């Protein structure tokens, strides 16, 4: 079944960087800090860590095992393992989710390009009031031409990398972008923590305030863990399918989770000290990095450089994630439909752009999309459908599949195919069969019943 033309990572490091690139994204740097800010800081961080350990990691290994065994995309993996069943439907849902997420994620990723442009022009060097910052944000995301152009630009970058192939496109980009990302992160975190008053922000992030914890924060933490680790839509099945047979998969998988989690925390270490130092509210919600941070930059020494580095960081993190989203869809068309990678990347990337246009226009650009359904914007609806529901359903189905249909023994065989033993193997087996599916089912039931999403 080994299929040389599909491509492979050059080794363990290539996989770790590419898969960590998929995992580390707007979810870590934009979503994680504002969610922690809204849910009591340290308490949320603890909950999040528990979710990564007890649910995220087991699902991650389930997906990697399926990909490695079959050397197939999200749909093909199910087809290869259990032909003539309805299970490949789970893979199709994953492909749809990849498309759906890419179509709104690239819009927000596009904003980072716009902000990077403003930072380079020195627009964050002067004092900016909250109103001015808000006005800048509203006009950037509300301008049809800007929003569409930035989205197109971001998708174009994504297509150009994915068309290059697994090792010479995706892996090569990750090997340049991920070290750059880590360097910027560390410099910014050190800068932020050492600001006057920065320590207060640090303790906000690290000291749990359990009184702020609600059932909603538990749900939010689990949803965030799935989204942040790129689970539930076949990205890790696909990336696992390019994993070289001789390499140590349990180690590589664990490294991806460690990298993703540490980078989320590092992002918090950048955000909260800077906010506390400037006397701003950490619970500002989704506007945190786009509306709140610009009011902070000028009060920081070397604020313009800080701003450029920060938005470059966001753009890089987002790019390595959009690459994996497009790759999930491209891999399906290459494996199952015999398309050439080049054609798949251009055609699917362009179709995705068309689906992204309503989202790009939904933040003030066009009224129909701004309040599309239930007073919610097209972009938010896409996020709820694909980013929340589809991922939870996909992760639940993956656990049930690996735990009960394919069986954990086969999963372990695949994870250990190189002869490297999977640590805590029976704990993994237990969690995949019982704990993870039950926990995810509770979350799904909760969001369906309350109409709440993460």
Joined tokens for residue 435: 């704990």
The only residue of 18, 181, 233, 266 in contact with ligand PHE, by rule CB under 6 A: 233
Window of 6-14, 20-28, 37-45, 375-383 that interacts with ligand PHE by CB under 6 A: 20-28
Asked whether position 324 contacts ligand PHE by CB under 6 A, the answer is: yes
Say which residues have a Cβ less than 8 Å from residue 47's Cβ, sequence separation at least 6. Answer: 39, 213, 217, 218, 221
Asked whether position 304 contacts ligand PHE by CB under 6 A, the answer is: no
Q: Considering only CA atoms, which of 375, 389, 365 is closest in space to residue 453? A: 389
Asked whether position 235 contacts ligand PHE by CB under 6 A, the answer is: yes
Is 177 or 408 the residue whose CB approaches ligand PHE more closely?
177
Window of 5-13, 39-47, 229-237, 285-293 that interacts with ligand PHE by CB under 6 A: 229-237
Residues 93-112 as x/- pattern, contact with ligand PHE by CB under 6 A: --------x-----------
Q: Label residue 46 exposed, middle or buried (CB < 10 Å: 0-12, 13-18, 19+).
A: middle
Q: Considering only CA atoms, which of 394, 392, 191, 349 is closest in space to residue 273? A: 191
The only residue of 23, 174, 205, 256 in contact with ligand PHE, by rule CB under 6 A: 23
Is 236 or 439 the residue whose CB approaches ligand PHE more closely?
236
Q: Considering only CA atoms, which of 319, 343, 344, 206 is closest in space to residue 265? A: 206
Cα(307)–Cα(304) distance, integer angstroms: 5
Q: Label residue 355 exposed, middle or buried (CB < 10 Å: 0-12, 13-18, 19+).
A: middle
Radius of gyration of the chain (CA): 21
28-57: contacts with ligand PHE (CB under 6 A): 28
Asked whether position 321 contacts ligand PHE by CB under 6 A, the answer is: yes
Asked whether position 27 contacts ligand PHE by CB under 6 A, the answer is: yes
Asked whether position 392 contacts ligand PHE by CB under 6 A, the answer is: no
Window of 25-33, 169-177, 279-287, 359-367 that interacts with ligand PHE by CB under 6 A: 25-33
The only residue of 22, 112, 158, 241 in contact with ligand PHE, by rule CB under 6 A: 22
Cα(272)–Cα(179) distance, integer angstroms: 23
E strand intervals along 167-233: none
CB 98 within 8 A of CB 235: yes
Task: Tell me the site size for ligand PHE, rule CB under 6 A.
Answer: 15
CB 395 within 8 A of CB 440: yes
Tokens 């939870």 sit on residue: 392
Window of 18-26, 115-123, 353-361, 406-414 that interacts with ligand PHE by CB under 6 A: 18-26
- How near is the Cβ of 325 to ligand PHE at its closest, in Å? 5
Window of 223-231, 273-281, 300-308, 330-338 that interacts with ligand PHE by CB under 6 A: 223-231
Tokens 């580390």 sit on residue: 24
Contacting positions for ligand PHE (CB under 6 A): 22-23, 25-28, 101, 227-228, 230, 233, 235, 321, 324-325
């Amino acid at each position: 079944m080994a299929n040389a033309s599909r491509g492979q990572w050059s080794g363990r490091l290539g996989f770790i960087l590419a898969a960590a690139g998929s995992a580390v994204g707007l979810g870590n740097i934009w979503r994680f800090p504002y969610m922690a800010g809204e849910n009591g800081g340290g308490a949320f961080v603890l909950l999040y860590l528990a979710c990564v350990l007890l649910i995220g990691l087991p699902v991650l290994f389930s997906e990697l095992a399926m990909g490695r065994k079959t050397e197939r995309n999200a749909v093909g993996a199910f087809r290869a393992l259990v032909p003539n069943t309805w299970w490949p439907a789970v893979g199709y849902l994953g492909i749809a989710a990849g498309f759906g997420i890419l179509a709104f994620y690239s819009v927000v990723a596009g904003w980072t390009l716009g902000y990077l442009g403003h930072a380079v022009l020195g627009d964050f060097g002067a004092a900016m009031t909250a109103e001015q910052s808000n006005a800048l944000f509203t006009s950037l995301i509300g301008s049809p031409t800007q929003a569409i152009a930035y989205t197109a630009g971001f998708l174009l970058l994504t297509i150009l990398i994915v068309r290059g192939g697994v090792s010479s496109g995706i892996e090569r980009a990750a090997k340049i972008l991920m070290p750059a990302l880590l360097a910027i992160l560390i410099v910014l975190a050190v800068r932020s923590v050492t600001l006057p008053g920065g320590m207060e922000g640090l303790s906000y992030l690290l000291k749990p305030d359990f009184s702020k914890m609600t059932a909603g924060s538990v749900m939010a933490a689990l949803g965030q863990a799935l989204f942040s680790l790129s689970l539930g839509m076949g990205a890790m099945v696909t990336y696992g399918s390019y994993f070289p047979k001789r390499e140590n998969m349990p180690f590589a998988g664990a490294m991806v989770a460690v990298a993703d989690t540490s980078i989320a925390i590092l992002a918090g270490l950048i955000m909260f000290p800077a906010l506390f130092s400037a006397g701003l509210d950490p619970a500002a919600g989704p506007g945190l990095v786009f509306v709140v941070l610009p009011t902070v930059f000028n009060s920081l020494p070397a604020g313009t450089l800080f701003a450029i580095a920060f938005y470059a960081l966001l753009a890089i993190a987002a790019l390595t994630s959009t690459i994996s989203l497009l790759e999930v869809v491209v891999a399906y068309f290459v494996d199952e439909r015999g398309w050439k990678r080049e054609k798949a990347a251009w055609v699917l990337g362009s179709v995705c752009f068309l689906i992204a246009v309503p989202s790009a226009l939904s933040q003030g650009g066009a009224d129909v999309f701004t309040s599309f359904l239930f007073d919610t914007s097209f972009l938010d609806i896409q996020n709820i459908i694909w980013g929340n529901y589809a991922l939870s359903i996909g992760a639940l189905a993956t656990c049930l599949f690996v735990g009960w249909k394919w069986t954990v023994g086969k999963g372990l065989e695949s994870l250990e195919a190189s002869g490297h033993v999977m640590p805590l193997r029976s704990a993994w087996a237990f969690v995949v069969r019982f704990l993870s599916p039950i926990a995810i089912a509770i979350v799904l039931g909760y969001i369906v019943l309350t109409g709440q999403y993460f």
